[in-house]
Structure 1
Amino acid sequence: MRKQRAFLKWAGGKYSLVEHIRRRLPPAEKFVEPFVGAGSIFLNTDYEHYLLADINPDLINLYNLLKEQPENYIFEAKRWFISENNCKEAYLDIRLQFNSTNDIMYRSLAFLYMNRFGFNGLCRYNKKGSFNVPFGSYKKTYFPEAELEFFAEKALKATFICKGYQDTFRGVSKGCVVYCDPPYVPLSITANFTSYVRSGFSLDDQVSLADVAEKAALERDIHVLISNHDTKLTRRLYHRAHLSVVEVKRSISRNGNGRNKVDELLALFRPKKCLRDRLIVEN
């Protein structure tokens, strides 16, 4: 299966981990992803049905619009990717209009534009809910037409919902497999605690997610795979899961210049039957 790139740039995107994650996902009737983000795993797996969730309504509205009106959305989006819009003044004007309108089509088109023309592909809102990523100052910006077309076709198998991980898990039943890519635990909790809490996903959420994943595996007979940084904390959180470590290159500086090797932890919570079979083999 040829690897497919997402049409959105995304912090913490899983394109580089596709093979490692795909290898650990068992067959199932439905693939569920509570933190879909740019959708790299969705695009690079082959399940019959998908349930894809995120708490960002702009992201989910864009996906649903692209699914329902692919030709119209791509045609309109392409008109934004012109040299006249590749300047700070145009970017700030579009960002201002985005923050002052509730029109779903405009917001979805502007969201893609700001993702590609904004700084580092960041997606960030202030406390008032206004998008506040600065202009990126790129010499040339790529319009991801082929990626949009592939996503739109694949989206026919998917249901996109704007819900948090707990609500998404409530809709999970036997026959599903779940992959969770939550906001990562900082490599250094002490150094990054303040900025981490501001991300909206607290340490309590990390604990809760691990608990929800384990219960879903044991009580509903499903596999749940979670990715996160490999830290003492995450190893404690996922100590009942099957753990494996993958080394990846990742930009860890705010300006995106530095790329260092970082260990990522893949934690697979298994159903009771799999745990019993494993014990029998080991004994």
Structure 2
Amino acid sequence: MSTILKWAGNKTAIIPELLKHLPTGPRLVEPFAGSCAVMMATEYPHYLVADINPDLINLYRTITEDCENFILRAKAVFESFCLAENYYRVREAFNYDHEINTFHRAVYFLYLNRHSYRGLCRYNQRGGFNVPFGNYKKPYFPENEIRAFAEKAKRATFICASFDETLNMLQPGDVIYCDPPYDGTFNGYHTAGFTDDDQYHLASILVRRSSEGHPVIVSNSDTSLIRSLYRSFIRHNITAPRSMGVKAGDGKSAPEIIAVSKFASWAGFDPASGPDRTVVHGV
């Protein structure tokens, strides 16, 4: 099952490896919602799914609350607005028409995502969605994915919150999976971006939460900064497909790390292969 959205950093391609490191628990907490690929691929009793991007959370809440009406309206927009000039009209309304209600804003967000260049989600400093038209012949309408998402979302709570706010809401037994904007790659999916200071702040919280007994699993780039920040975790090196943030001539893959707290390793899988086991995907 693919995801509703086209999304930079979508975890679908590495789900088989990621699942090895996610222990059981009563609830999975994701402070970086993204495409919700991990939620869709797992079977936790409950989910707390958060993101700082209000458009993303609004889409997920709207589908959860009114799935069939959303499909009806979104499909009509896909069928009626297929040209470049239509795309820019929708983008203009999305950015500047403050009379648009949350339901239609969710419809427009899906439309923009599926029609924009490479499915990027990018905002300028004023908060305007600024990705150009993708010029696709027939953008895919994810009807089956929307229905599957609405069914799984019955177990989930969606909140618009920062990662530190989300991680302050932990309950005993929660499993934490973090997929932040990767170090050294595109991170403008929200106006504020994601800086090195944010990487440091996130890691410090996760190290503390791990010491309190929460299983913590983190995906990120394989860089010296990330290796240093998660040096107390067990690191699993993978080569993952990537279409952005890869230098010309480097192909369509890049080294990444799945960093796993030692508590998670005890609870969920056999860490006997050591801290730097290498698994290759997509090459």
Please, what TM-score do these two structures have when normalized by structure 1?
0.88
What letter is aligned with 1:271?
F
Alignment of 1:90-101 (within 5 A): 90-101=86-97
Structure 1: gaps spanning 5 or more residues = none
User: What does residue 268 of structure 1 align with?
Assistant: 260
1:237 correspondence with 2:215: no
Question: Residue 240 of structure 2 aligns with which residue?
Answer: 248
CA shift digits 1:48-92 (9 cap, x unpaired): 00000000101101101100111111111110111x412111001
Give structure 1 regions of 4+ aligned residues with deviation exceeding 2 angstroms: 194-199, 252-261, 270-275
In the alignment, what sits opposite 2:104?
106
Tell me the CA shift for residue 212 of structure 1: 0.5
Gap regions ≥5 residues in structure 2? 275-283
Seq. identity, %: 41
Question: Where does residue 137 of structure 1 map in the other structure?
Answer: 135
Residue equivalent to 1:215: 208
Q: How many residues are paired up?
A: 268
Q: Larger % of helix: which?
A: 1
1:50 matched residue in structure 2: 47
Aligned pair in 2 of structure 1 residues 146, 197: CA closer, same or farther (>3 Å)? closer
Report how far residue 217 of structure 1 moved.
Answer: 1.1
Q: Counterparts of 2:256 and 2:239 in 1: how far apart (Å)?
A: 6
Alignment of 1:1-283 (within 5 A): 4-82=1-79, 84-102=80-98, 103-186=101-184, 200-219=193-212, 221-252=213-244, 259-271=251-263, 274=266
Local SS of the residue matching 2:239: strand
Distance 2:196 2:19 in 1: 27
Q: Which stretch shifts more, 262-271 or 17-26?
A: 262-271
TM-score w.r.t. length of structure 2: 0.88
Structure having greater relative contact order (Cα 8 Å, sep ≥ 6) = 2
Which deviates more from structure 2 when the two are superposed, residues 125-134 or residues 265-274? Answer: 265-274
In the superposition, relative to structure 1, how do residues 96 and 226 fare at CA in structure 2: closer, same or farther (>3 Å)? same
In angstroms, what is the RMSD of aligned CA positions? Answer: 2.8
Do the aligned partners of 1:252 and 1:258 also contact (CA within 8 Å) in 2? Answer: no
